[in-house]
Structure 1
Amino acid sequence: MKKNLLALAALCALTSGPAFAQATDGQGPWLVRARAVHLDSANKDSTGLGLSINNKTLPEIDISYFFNKNIAAELVLTVPQKQRLSSSALGGQIGTLKHLPPSLMLQYHFDAPGFTPYVGAGVNYTRFSSVRLPAGVSIDKNSWGGALQVGVDIPLTKNLSLNFDIKKVYIRTDVAVAGAKIGTFKVDPVLAGVGLGWRF
């Protein structure tokens, strides 16, 4: 996954020169979106503890670069998100953690009258921090996984658009007690968002 992320980043750097800065229909190659996103976790757990995190709504900023009118790369960003970790086997909340889950997507934007649907696929890296769990319990603080995306931009003006977006992101961490792995907790959330985009 790390190699895939580096390769995609290198592609973005190498193709961002004037020869590839192809504005389409009088628009520039950059698109910045601000979204409100609802995180709905899959909460799949193989530890036997019945682990889950809370669902929540969070802010998201996305920066896209269009190589041509159909192909774009998008960097998905937010701020570290604090979540409650609960265990059904232990009767409720057992701790908290923060996660920072940026994703890098390669997208295809379809030609359609009056709106622009798109699909995307890429890689997610999530860093867990400020982990507060019962004594002796620990998690792997780094997660690499795939990310899938569908969405649509609906023009409001020449540069401003309304955006609807759904992503499936694969986030998981190994759980250990006294240093011994007892299973894997898969967050694997669906992220449904709505926001505005500015093309320049």
Structure 2
Amino acid sequence: MATALMLAANPAAAQEAGDIQVRVFATGVLPDGEIDEVNLDLVGLPANTQTEASDNVVPTVAIEYFVSPEFSIETICCLTQHDVDGVDGAAGTELVSDALLLPATFTAKYHFNAGGVSPYVGAGVSYFIWLDDEPGATAVALGADDFNLSDEVGFVLQAGFDVPLGDDGFGFSVDAKRYFIGTTARWYANGVKVIETEHNLDPWVVSAGVSYRF
């Protein structure tokens, strides 16, 4: 906090229209994964079956273009992998294994103070693309031989701050996003769909890292 206040008292050059900022983060992806609705159940899931998705920490790159000193547009690039396990009613079961997600995300951001400590808020859209998804060990043991998760569009809210480190364009950034998005999970046995469930993903995505503006 003391460092941030000192930097704010001695601000670096403000963002200008046409500036580009690249941020490299360590990012925690913290999804929910609970079942919102069961559309089909031909195998007889235990009563009160519920699920949760595993957390993950991944590298992330964010690229931001400043339309004006206050407004910018940002996109992120990352891949994140998750399992989905049973909890209530199916504790200890692995239902989805190593689902690989590309969360294509675009946000529009408003920066409250260009130069010095610069907090911002943003909002945008995301398209969750599942690049790979496999049935978990428990699902396979019960006869599942195929599985897929639906690609979906959702919304995202964002907040964070940038702190310039000197006058050469380098900085430190903290960012938090909350996604509002779900997916439909389908398990198959011998080509027949046997389970279909709707899941809330709604992940928190929390990042910290370094930036360079030019």
* TM-score over 0.5 for the pair: yes
Equivalences for residues 148-167 of structure 1 within 5 A: 148-158=157-167, 159-167=169-177
Q: Which runs of 4+ in 1 moved over 6 A?
A: none
In the other structure, the counterpart of 2:178 is 168
Tell me the equivalent position of 1:192.
Answer: 206
Paired with 1:49 and 1:182, the residues of 2 have a C-alpha distance of 13
**Could you say which structure has the larger radius of gyration?**
2
Match of 2:96 in 1: 95
Equivalence for 1:73: 73
Asked if the contact 1:129/1:141 (under 8 Å) is kept, the reply is no
Q: Distance in 1 between matches of 2:131 and 2:49?
A: 21
Ranges in structure 2 where 5+ consecutive residues have no aligned partner? 1-12, 39-47
Relative to structure 1, the CA distance from residue 184 to residue 169 in structure 2 (aligned partners, 3 Å threshold; closer, same or farther) is same
Structure 1 residues 171 and 57, CA gap change in structure 2 (3 angstroms): same
Distance apart, 1:49 and its partner CA: 3.3
Q: Normalising to structure 2: TM-score of the pair?
A: 0.74
Alpha-carbon distance in structure 1 between the residues aligned to 2:81 and 2:176: 21
Three-state SS of the structure 1 residue aligned to 2:202 is coil
Identity %: 24
Equivalent position of 2:8 in the other structure = none
Deviation at 1:94, TM superposition (A): 2.4
Provide the aligned length of Structure 1 versus Structure 2: 176
The answer to whether the 8 A contact 2:134-2:146 is kept is no
Q: Structure 1 regions of 5+ residues with no counterpart?
A: 1-23
Instruction: Measure, in 2, the Cα distance between the counterparts of 1:144 and 1:116.
Output: 30
Provide the residue aligned with 1:82 in structure 2. Answer: 81
Where in structure 2 are the equivalents of 1:122-161 lying within 5 Å? Answer: 122-133=124-135, 134=139, 135=144, 138-158=147-167, 159-161=169-171
Scaled by the length of structure 1, the TM-score of the pair is: 0.79
Give the Cα–Cα distance (whole angstroms) in 1 for the partners of residues 159 and 15 of structure 2.
Answer: 25
**Once superposed, what is the RMSD of the aligned Cα atoms?**
2.2
